[in-house]
Amino acid sequence: MLTYTLRRLLIAIPTLLFISFVIFLLLDLAPGDPMSQVPLTVPPDVREKMRIALGADQPMAVRYVLWLKQFFWVEPAHWMNATFGTHFAEGQQRILSWQSRSPVFDIIAQRIPQTLTVIGSSYVLGVLIALPIGIYSAYRKYSWFDQLGTFIAMVGFSVPTFFTGIVLIVVFSVKLGWFPSIYDTTLRVTDWSSFWMQVRQMAMPVTVLALYNAAQISRYMRSAMLENLGQDYVRTARAKGLSERVVVLKHVLRNSLIPVVTVIALGIPTIFGGAIITEQVFKVNGLGQLLITAIHGSDIPMVQTLTFIFAVLIVLFNLIADILYGILDPRIRYD
Amino acid sequence: MTDVTSAASPPRSQWRDVWLQFRRHKGALVGGMVFLALIALVVIGPWIWQVETNPARLIRQRNQGMSLAHPLGTDQLGRDLLGRMIQGGKVSIAVGLVAMLIAIFIGTTVGVVAGYFRRLDGALMRVTDLFLALPLLPLLLVMVLLFRDTLSGLMGPEVGTFLLIVGAIGVTSWMQTARIVRGEVLALKEREFVLAARSIGTPPFRMILRHVLPNIVSPIMVSATLGIAGAIITESALSFLGLGFPPDFPTWGRLLYEGIDYLQQFPGRVIWPGIAISLTVLSVNYIGDGLRDALDPRARGR
């Protein structure tokens, strides 16, 4: 298991290098100019100096290696300094956003809490909804509950999240006025009334994403349960006289959760991608919204870093899912 | 004896069996009818539903509600919403179909080559894994942003954007097909009829066309239907984020995006395109579900 993990980690390094290079190449073709937001009254020679100051005049290979150094060495060093008070990589330039001229990672650190509260809680809620539904629809296969669950799941992943979000806004914000349609990130939870405010503004985005995630996970849960319910060990457990409750919720559920847990782990990075749209609908200024504004403003360092972070998350959670699978299911041997 | 065999029921074709099984899946049947109806609407619609194009007359009828003359009302420039929905549907469905064709073509080629030629297997599957690790939506956004102006300049805004979006979606959604096809080809290669064909000296290319491809049509068809649904959703998501087709060129996603500004006064402008997208994707997903059951010989006849 350990050798397998180490080997996978070693393979991940060239994979990530290649992905970062692809992203860099793609962005290098961008017609966007870091000076496009500088007023036209600034003379051309000053513009040129500003471009040089940003490092935009260097050849591509130099900028790529510089970016790699900043991402893998300077930024972690800065993080160490901030956390443990050390003095690594002092005075070295960090990755700067072309839009705001401040370090990219500082802006990302400001945005992460919003994304994690909204997207994270919706994923947890989605999983909590999906598991019981999946278990019960498999146990009562082809019952009205199962049919209804299948239909809702089908609708759940067919209807795009931006449409469900807008329908919720029309019904609950415009018509009924129950929830605010815009997420207010300046809100600080200090007492019960501000906590209630936070719950209200989170209600709609969380519902949208939770439904979407629950639709998919409940299907996986159902098919995993169905596969196990027909197994011989279930008949044995029943023949021993165990109660249905113990048979289903202990024997079958534990075995069925193995593939589902890996699916849940695999889904974590994709929720960041899906969050781009939901954050746009509800005006949550999280990571997705940061990416969109950076793309529109052709802020190349920001787009590069964010996209690469998404790629790292995908590779990381793929690895976690595979390792989890090996730990949970002793029949799987990677060596 | 020969009379008895000829008098027995005629040989049943595989596709007849598939159709009989498909017909028993209620959702798939309804989905198929809805999808055909939608295609008929957007293809025949423009001839039946004539829209006013004179801007001077259009501006006088702006922001109207539902009426007999304008069943879905008109927008802020007086354009008939039903007419724009029909126009937009044509583009949205065309994007879905063409992007699916591209993805299926790349996916099948990669899958067959990887499964059939053992030497290329490792390299091609490594590439597939790399593509699966890419954050697709951010990359799609970046690709559209980068190449939109260049391609629009080369081929005009409509054709350029269409090719760009279709190509970008196709290039980023072939990986699942490639994996499924490779698995099927690997299993197929061990069968006796392939060995027999090889023993009489069939060259690889003809082997693939005559013996391999016809036997992996079913999984390809299923992933093709699911590919249409995915492509339609991706296109409307791009349009919704403002990185899709130009404003005068409506698609359902674009109409929805434009309607958001008038969400409070005229929610219908958002709801109708949204329903159209959801209905199309839902019907296509149901068709895919039904096809999967119908094309699986183990599930057939149950």
CB pair distance less than 8 Å for A15 and B133: yes
Q: Which residues have C-beta within 8 Å of that of residue B82, sequence separation ≥ 6?
A: B49, B70, B71, B72
- Cβ atoms within 10 A of the Cβ of A73, count? 13
pLDDT of residue A35: 65
Contact B277, B266 (CB under 8 A): no
- Specify if B64 maps to a domain: no
**Out of B149, B229, B277, closest to residue A163 by CB:** B277
Kindly report the pTM of this predicted structure: 0.84
CB pair distance less than 8 Å for A310 and B143: no
Contact A213, A267 (CB under 8 A): yes
pLDDT band at B302 (very low <50, low <70, confident <90, very high): very low
Residue type, A139: Y
pLDDT of residue B97: 92
Residue type, A8: R
- Specify if B4 maps to a domain: no
**Out of A22, A26, A273, closest to residue B136 by CB:** A273
CA distance B111 to B103: 12
- Specify if B58 maps to a domain: no
Q: Which of B176, B239, B240, B256 to mutate to test the interface with A (most CBs of A within 10 A)?
A: B240
Chain A residues whose beta carbon lies within 8 Å of the beta carbon of residue B286? 154
**Rounded to whole angstroms, what are the CA distances from A76 to A87, A89, A90, A317?**
12, 9, 12, 20
Question: Residue B85 above 70 pLDDT?
Answer: yes
Residues composing chain A = 335
Contact A318, B133 (CB under 8 A): yes
pLDDT in tens, B252-268: 888 888 888 877 777 77
Q: Name the residue of chain B whose CA is nearest to A164's CA.
A: B274
CA distance A104 to A81: 17
ipTM of this complex: 0.80
The sign one gets for the Cα dihedral A41, A45, A46, A52 is positive
Residue type, B136: L
- Specify if B57 maps to a domain: no
pLDDT in tens, A15-61: 888 888 888 888 877 665 666 666 777 777 887 787 777 666 777 77
Identify which has the larger pLDDT, B17 or B236: B236
* Of the candidates B218, B228, B88, the residue with the CA atom closest to the CA atom of residue B169: B228
CA distance A17 to A3: 22
Nearest-Cα distance to chain A for B135, in Å, is: 5
Per-residue pLDDT of chain A (335 residues; tens, 9 = 90+): 788 888 888 888 888 888 888 888 888 776 656 666 667 777 778 877 877 776 667 777 788 888 888 888 777 777 777 777 777 766 677 777 777 778 888 888 888 888 888 888 888 999 999 999 999 988 888 888 888 888 888 888 888 888 888 888 888 888 887 888 777 777 777 788 888 888 888 888 888 888 888 988 998 898 888 888 888 889 999 899 888 888 888 888 888 888 888 888 888 887 776 678 888 888 888 888 888 888 887 778 888 888 888 888 888 888 888 888 888 877 776 65
- Specify if B229 maps to a domain: yes
Nearest-Cα distance to chain B for A163, in Å, is: 6
CA distance B168 to B162: 10
Q: Which of B35, B142, B283 to mutate to test the interface with A (most CBs of A within 10 A)?
A: B142
Q: Name the residue of chain B whose CA is nearest to A172's CA.
A: B264
CA distance B203 to B255: 52
The sign one gets for the Cα dihedral B190, B194, B200, B201 is negative
* Of the candidates A263, A282, A276, the residue with the CA atom closest to the CA atom of residue A306: A276
pLDDT of residue B113: 92
pLDDT of residue B100: 93
Chain A residues whose beta carbon lies within 8 Å of the beta carbon of residue B129? 15
Binning chain B into helix, strand and coil, the percentages to the nearest 5 are: 75, 0, 25
Question: Residue B108 above 90 pLDDT?
Answer: yes
The sign one gets for the Cα dihedral B13, B16, B22, B24 is negative
Phi, psi of B138 (to 5 degrees): -55, -40
Chain B residues whose beta carbon lies within 8 Å of the beta carbon of residue A29? 146-147
**Rounded to whole angstroms, what are the CA distances from A107 to A96, A112, A318, B141?**
10, 9, 27, 21
Counting other chains too, the contacts that A201-205 makes at CB distance below 8 Å and 24 or more residues apart are A202/A117, A202/A118, A202/A121, A203/A179, A204/A165, A204/A168, A204/A169, A204/A172, A204/A173, A204/A179, A204/A282, A205/A118, A205/A122, A205/A165, A205/A278, A205/A279, A205/A281, A205/A282, A205/A284
Query: The domain that contains B255 carries what CATH number?
Result: 1.10.3720.10
Question: Residue B10 above 80 pLDDT?
Answer: no
Domain boundaries, position B230 = 16-49+81-297
Chain B residues whose beta carbon lies within 8 Å of the beta carbon of residue A274? 137
Q: Which residues of B touch A (CB under 8 A)?
A: 27, 129-130, 132-139, 141-143, 145-147, 149-150, 229, 233, 236-237, 240-243, 256, 260, 263-264, 267, 270-271, 274, 277-278, 281-282, 285-286, 289
- Specify if B180 maps to a domain: yes
Tell the burial category of B276 from Cβ atoms under 10 Å away from its Cβ (0-12, 13-18, 19+): buried
Domains contained in chain B, number = 1
pLDDT of residue B1: 44
Q: Tell me, rounded to whole angstroms, the distance of Cα A106 from its chain centroid.
A: 19
User: Cα torsion at A75, A79, A81, A83 (round to 10°)?
Assistant: 180
**Which of A175-184, A312-321, B49-58, B192-201 has the lowest average pLDDT?**
B49-58
- Specify if B68 maps to a domain: no
Identify which has the larger pLDDT, B79 or B177: B177
Nearest-Cα distance to chain A for B207, in Å, is: 34
**Out of B129, B146, B240, closest to residue A30 by CB:** B146
State whether residue B273 is helix, strand or coil: helix
Q: Name the residue of chain A whose CA is nearest to B289's CA.
A: A154
Residue type, B7: A
**Rounded to whole angstroms, what are the CA distances from B295 to A205, A222, A255, B298?**
39, 22, 29, 9
CA distance B189 to A123: 42
Q: Which residues of A touch B (CB under 8 A)?
A: 15, 18-19, 22-23, 26-27, 29-31, 154-155, 157-160, 162-163, 166-167, 169-170, 174, 269, 272-274, 276-277, 280, 291-292, 295-296, 298, 303, 306-307, 310-311, 314-315, 318
Nearest-Cα distance to chain A for B9, in Å, is: 34
pLDDT of residue B64: 67
Helix runs in B117-267, H state only: 118-132, 136-155, 157-171, 175-189, 192-199, 204-207, 217-240, 252-259
Residue located via tokens 């980068």: B146
**Out of A160, A295, A311, closest to residue B133 by CB:** A311
Question: Residue B130 above 50 pLDDT?
Answer: yes
pLDDT in tens, B141-190: 888 887 877 777 777 777 888 888 899 999 988 998 998 899 889 888 88
Chain A residues whose beta carbon lies within 8 Å of the beta carbon of residue B137? 273-274, 276
Phi, psi of B74 (to 5 degrees): -125, 165
Q: Taking CB atoms and an 8 Å cut-off, how many pairs form between chains A and B? A: 117
**Out of B130, B138, B243, closest to residue A15 by CB:** B130
Q: Name the residue of chain A whose CA is nearest to B280's CA.
A: A158
State whether residue A34 is helix, strand or coil: coil
Residues composing chain B = 302
Q: Name the residue of chain B whose CA is nearest to A274's CA.
A: B137
**Out of B133, B147, B241, closest to residue A19 by CB:** B133
CA distance B164 to B246: 12
**Which of A25-39, A219-233, B88-102, B199-213 has the lowest average pLDDT?**
A25-39
Residue located via tokens 């019907």: B283
- Show the tokens assigned to B185: 């080809």
- Specify if B7 maps to a domain: no
